[in-house]
Amino acid sequence: MIEPAASPPPTLRLTVDSEALAANWRALDALSGGADAGAAVKADAYGLGVDTCVPVLRDAGCRTFFVAHWSEVASVIRHVPGEQVAVLHGVLSEADCAYARATGAVPVINSLDQAGLWSATGGGRCHLMVDTGINRLGIALAEAGDQAVAALEIDILMSHLASADERTAMNRMQAELLSEAAEAIPHHRLSLANSAGIGLGEAFAFDLTRPGLALYGGVPRDELAGHIRPVAQVQAQLLQTRNLAPGEAVGYNATFIAPTHMRVGTVSIGYADGFLRARGPGNALFHQGRALPILGKVSMDMVVVDLAAGRDLAAGDWLNVPWNIADAAQQNALSAYELLTTIGARLRTR
């Protein structure tokens, strides 16, 4: 059997600033007041890599980690004990319950059916989601007194804010409804605030906050702006440069036509890497502060840029790809969450 040769260096770079990530968690923990801050690490730590981010968050002091799917548990418990991991989608089968007990990961029960299933398969420590207005997952407030709920051993009683990034009376209403549920349901800890919820103040922190976006550099409320540092930096190499004559087209469907003689460059990044077509014309890549406007449609593996401001650039040079999720000006039609979670596997591969 022939041993595969070592791969040459990639033409894409994703750099995670570990110091910034740790500083963001510590800042959010401090802003949580008397509450502890957990960490949402679902979707491969929002696209930045569980194996990179979870050890940093653990070493910074985090002790509660949230994922959505059971398939995400194995990668997290390589770094932290299973009992520190909460699975937001709960249990839908006996197999889910068995896996929870085998790994120590804790289900977030979301319905009376899930509550009954968890108890019927042995019960034990769990968390419980109560819906207070977002109408996604969680038991209804009217179900708080049900026997299936009373049978649970609930550690964290939680709900989820629907509009924490806005100024709305709904935020206060949801906090009050969670407090009402807490009076009817025995529990150890209460949790409501996500990243934006932390910005609402200590009245929303309860016992445990669940930051996600802000850990990774997002600023969902102005109150967080001075506390959160950028975490992710993306770079891509120039593959080729070429000269265009007036009237020549660039990319699929010839959506850009050169109005004059131009020097352009083809860059090793595309929508398969999370640089989606929505970030095409009107945006730019950069080299040492020089903006290189994107021309035509973003392809699966490539994008073409105008090199008028970078005539010295050649194949092999590295360009900076805007991924500062706190900067709305470079997001185009994408939310900060999409900018992170759509990062492609080729960037995440170290």
Nearest to 69 by CA among 105, 116, 122, 102: 105
Alpha-carbon distance 117 to 147, whole Å? 13
Residues 171, 49, single domain; the answer is: yes
d(CA 6, CA 178): 55
In a domain, 310, yes or no: yes
Mean pLDDT, the chain, rounded, equals 94
CATH number where 336 lies: 2.40.37.10
Give the confidence band of 5 by pLDDT, cuts at 50, 70, 90. Answer: confident
Q: Residues 333, 240: one domain?
A: yes
Predicted confidence (pLDDT) per residue in 12-35, tens digit: 999 999 999 999 999 999 999 999
> What are the tokens at 345?
């596997």
Asked if residue 102 and residue 28 are part of one domain, the reply reads yes
CATH of the domain at 67: 3.20.20.10
Answer whether residue 294 is part of any domain: yes
Domain-terminating residue out of 224, 259, 292: 224
Closest listed residue to residue 127, CA positions, set 149, 164, 157: 157
Q: Are residues 198 and 307 in the same domain?
A: no
Tens-digit pLDDT profile for residues 239-295: 999 999 999 999 999 999 999 999 999 999 999 999 999 888 889 999 999 999 999
Is it the case that residue 326 has pLDDT exceeding 80?
A: no
Last residue of a domain, one of 185, 206, 224: 224
Residues marked as catalytic: 42, 252
pLDDT at 323: 84
Q: How far apart are CA 37 and CA 25, in angstroms?
A: 8
Residue 329 has pLDDT above 50, yes or no: no
**pLDDT of res. 335:** 83
The answer to whether residues 68 and 191 belong to one domain is: yes
How many structural domains compose the chain? Answer: 2
pLDDT of residue 348: 74
Task: Collapse the DSSP code of 171 into the 3-class scheme (helix H, G, I; strand E, B; otherwise coil) and give the result.
Answer: helix
**Beta-carbon contacts of residue 127 (< 8 Å; ≥ 6 apart):** 86, 106, 107, 108, 109, 154, 155, 156, 157, 158
Tokens of 13: 């770079």
Report yes or no on 149 lying in a domain.
yes
What integer is the mean pLDDT of 167-175?
95
**Any idea what the Cα angle at residue 16 is, between residues 22 and 350, rounded to 5°?**
135
Residues 48 and 191 in one domain: yes
Is residue 175 domain-shared with residue 303, that is, in the same domain? no
Do 158 and 218 share a structural domain? yes
How sure is the predictor about 336, in pLDDT bands with cuts at 50, 70 and 90?
confident
Residue 19 neighbours by CB distance under 10 Å:
11
**Shared domain check, 187 and 81:** yes
| Cα–chain center distance at 340 | 6
Q: Is the pLDDT of residue 3 over 80?
A: no
Whether 8 is covered by a domain: the verdict is no
Q: What's the whole-model pTM score?
A: 0.93
Same domain, 131 and 236: no
Residue 340: its pLDDT value, please? 87
Q: 66: which DSSP letter? A: E
Domain presence at residue 80: yes
Residue 332: which domain range?
Answer: 232-348
In the predicted structure, residue 341 carries a pLDDT above the cut 90: no
What are the helix (H) ranges across the chain? 18-31, 42-46, 50-60, 73-76, 94-103, 112-120, 147-150, 169-184, 195-199, 336-341, 345-348
The reported pLDDT for the residue numbered 282 is 87
8 A C-beta contact, residue 279 and residue 298: yes
Residue that is last in its domain, among 180, 207, 224? 224
Do 152 and 203 belong to one domain? Answer: yes
Say if 137 falls within a structural domain. Answer: yes
Same domain, 48 and 195: yes
Is 10 inside a domain boundary? no
| CA angle in degrees (0–180, nearest 5) for 129-180-139 | 25
Q: What is the pLDDT of residue 333?
A: 63
pLDDT of residue 1: 63
Q: Is the pLDDT of residue 328 over 60?
A: no
The reply to whether 251 falls in a domain is yes
- Strand-pair category, 189-191 with 153-158: parallel
| Confidence grade of residue 330 (pLDDT, cut at 50, 70, 90) | very low
